[in-house]
């Protein structure tokens, strides 16, 4: 007699879960009962008009602002109200809407700063030249790998303030990649770039996903970038989610056209 066959339904946990997140600034509700999941291995874009609450979502994920309510989980680890450095250690790194590099440090030194979460030297290690050499060598090797990946290898010894704007953006991205994050949050990586640079940035973000196997949560106003490289798009307006789905579906959603795309098309 044949044995009954049982099919196991394996439901993989999303990499990031944001559940009913609310962030208030005094009387202003910047993020209002907002939920979204980011699946592992994708490029997921978060879009919406100016002031919709996108950066505030990033700030809540990275522990920069305290949510009024809601939960943020990475896998099954609850990161709500964790300290920012604990969130980096858990595997989430970010770039900022305004490019933030240390202009009077070299590119290499800027990259080193992104490695601090790996610094696990105790007091005894501090006095051990061999441990310190090993750590420095690992940090240097990672920096060269990241710089090579981003096309920054020839600029490692330049001051970050002396290199072109696009390269500074890549240094900031490189700093975030130094700790080998599972999830990278990019806040408007294409802002201020020329058309050619924007195309390069698109390629780099695709490489992050395909070669470096980093999951990307992307905030971006450039619809050409968003619609071309995203697996999923979530749309916010006034702190709330108004649409979500594949880029081609979101693009056609009347709510989105009204709130966001309509605005930019008529501009
Ligand atoms: N630290 C803060 N204190 C007070 N209000 C804030 C603060 N940060 C953001 N806000 C307000 O919260 C709302 C959402 O801002 P947020 O920066 O998240 O929008 P955004 O979607 O990133 O917009 P943009 O596309 O212009 O970057 C806005 O009304 C903004 O003025
Ligand atoms: Mg913003």
Ligand 1 atom closest to 59 (CA): 18
User: Is 3 inside any structural domain?
Assistant: no
Ligand 1 atom closest to 52 (CA): 21
Determine the pLDDT at residue 125: 72
Least confident of 1-10, 71-80, 82-91, 243-252: 1-10
pLDDT band at 9 (very low <50, low <70, confident <90, very high): low
User: Is 263 inside any structural domain?
Assistant: yes
**Residues surrounding ion ligand 2 at CB below 5 Å:** 55, 97
Cβ atoms of 237 and 48 closer than 8 Å: yes
User: Is 5 inside any structural domain?
Assistant: no
- Using the predicted structure, report yes or no on whether residue 5 has a pLDDT greater than 90: no
Instruction: Say if residue 151 is in the same domain as residue 163.
Output: yes
Ligand nearest to the CA of 32: 1
26 lines ligand 1 (CB under 6 A): no
Domain containing residue 124: 99-180
- Report the predicted TM-score, pTM, of the whole model to 2 decimal places: 0.91
Cβ atoms of 201 and 110 closer than 8 Å: no
Instruction: Say if residue 78 is in the same domain as residue 191.
Output: yes
Instruction: Say if residue 67 is in the same domain as residue 77.
Output: yes
CATH code for position 50: 3.40.50.300
Cβ atoms of 235 and 49 closer than 8 Å: no
The residue whose CB lies within 8 Å of the most ligand 1 atoms, and thus the one to mutate among 46, 49, 56, is 56
Instruction: Say if residue 165 is in the same domain as residue 187.
Output: no
Domains held by the chain: number? 2
C-alpha distance across the termini of the chain, in Å:
70
Average pLDDT over residues 177-201: 97
Phi, psi of 89 (to 5 degrees): -60, -35
Ligand nearest to the CA of 31: 1
Instruction: Say if residue 39 is in the same domain as residue 113.
Output: no
Instruction: Say if residue 32 is in the same domain as residue 76.
Output: yes
pLDDT band at 131 (very low <50, low <70, confident <90, very high): confident
User: Which residue among 180, 201, 224 closes a domain?
Assistant: 180
């Amino acid at each position: 007699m044949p044995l009954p066959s049982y099919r196991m339904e394996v439901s993989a946990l999303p990499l990031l879960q944001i559940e009913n997140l609310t962030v208030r600034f005094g009387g202003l509700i910047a993020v209002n009962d907002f939920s979204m999941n980011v699946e592992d291995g994708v490029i997921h874009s978060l879009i919406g008009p100016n002031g919709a609450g996108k950066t505030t979502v990033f700030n809540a994920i990275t522990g920069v602002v305290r949510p009024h309510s809601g939960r943020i989980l990475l896998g099954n680890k609850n990161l709500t109200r964790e300290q920012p450095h604990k969130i980096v250690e858990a595997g989430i790194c970010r770039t900022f809407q305004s490019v933030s590099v240390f202009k009077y440090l070299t590119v290499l030194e800027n990259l080193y700063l992104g490695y601090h979460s790996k610094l696990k030297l105790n007091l005894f290690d501090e006095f051990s030249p061999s441990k310190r050499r090993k750590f420095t060598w690992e940090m240097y090797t990672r920096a060269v790998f990241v710089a090579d990946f981003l096309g920054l290898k020839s600029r490692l010894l330049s001051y970050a303030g002396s290199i072109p704007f696009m390269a500074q953006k890549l240094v900031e991205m490189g700093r975030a990649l130094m700790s080998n994050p599972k999830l990278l949050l990019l806040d408007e990586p294409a802002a201020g770039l020329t058309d050619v640079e924007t195309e390069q940035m698109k390629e780099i973000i695709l490489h992050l996903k395909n070669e470096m196997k980093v999951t990307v949560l992307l905030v971006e106003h450039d619809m050409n970038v968003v619609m071309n490289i995203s697996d999923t798009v979530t749309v916010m307006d006034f702190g709330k989610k108004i649409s979500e789905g594949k880029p081609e579906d979101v693009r056609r959603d009347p709510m989105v056209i009204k709130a966001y795309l309509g605005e930019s098309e008529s501009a």
